[in-house]
């Protein structure tokens, strides 16, 4: 589990809640969030996210990923003043804000589940 910007994120399922209320994320949004949450503060390459969430045939579908990340941001961000939680890393992909901290007692393995 991670707590960041008022959210609690389950790094296993990708589910997120704010003030105890579960956010209505689709299955794909949960998978995308999980890809980021298991590596907080580290850029996850776009091609890796596409491959891990949709499969190898989607590896180069960057516009597709941008749309889904926009949807995910709209559900997670506390304000509309710009992305604070999920940031775009130009030419690479996305990252979950480095200020994310593991919940006390939770098992957190940076880099686990990473596939090239």
Q: Which of 17-21, 22-26, 48-52 has the lowest mean pLDDT?
A: 17-21
Q: Identify whether 40 is part of a domain.
A: yes
Ramachandran assignment for 52, one of left (phi > 0), alpha (psi -120 to 50 degrees), beta (any other): alpha
User: What is the structure's pLDDT at 8?
Assistant: 85
As for how many domains the chain has, the answer is: 1
- Please state whether the predicted TM-score (pTM) of the whole model is above 0.85: no
Indicate the range of 26-30, 51-55, 77-81, 107-111 predicted with least confidence. 107-111
Residue 39 maps to a domain: yes
**113 falls within a domain:** no
CB 93, CB 69: distance < 8 Å:
no
Q: Does residue 116 sit within a domain? A: no
Q: How much is the pLDDT for 44? A: 95
- CATH number of the domain encompassing residue 27: 1.10.10.10
Domain that holds residue 74: 2-102
Q: Which helix (H) or strand (E) holds 22?
A: strand 21-22
91 lies in some domain: yes
Top mean-pLDDT range of 10-14, 57-61, 105-109, 112-116: 57-61
pLDDT(99) > 80: no
**Residue 79, domain member (yes or no):** yes
């Amino acid at each position: 589990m991670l707590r960041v910007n008022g959210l609690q994120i389950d790094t296993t399922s990708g589910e997120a809640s704010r003030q105890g209320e579960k956010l209505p994320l689709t299955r794909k949004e949960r998978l995308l969030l999980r890809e980021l949450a298991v590596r907080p503060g580290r850029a996850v390459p776009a091609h890796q996210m596409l491959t891990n969430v949709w499969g190898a045939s989607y590896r180069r579908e960057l516009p597709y990923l941008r749309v889904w990340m926009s949807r995910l941001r709209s559900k997670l961000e506390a304000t509309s003043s710009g992305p604070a939680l999920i940031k775009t890393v130009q030419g690479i992909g996305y990252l979950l804000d480095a200020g994310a901290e593991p919940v006390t007692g939770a098992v957190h393995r940076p880099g686990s589940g990473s596939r090239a």
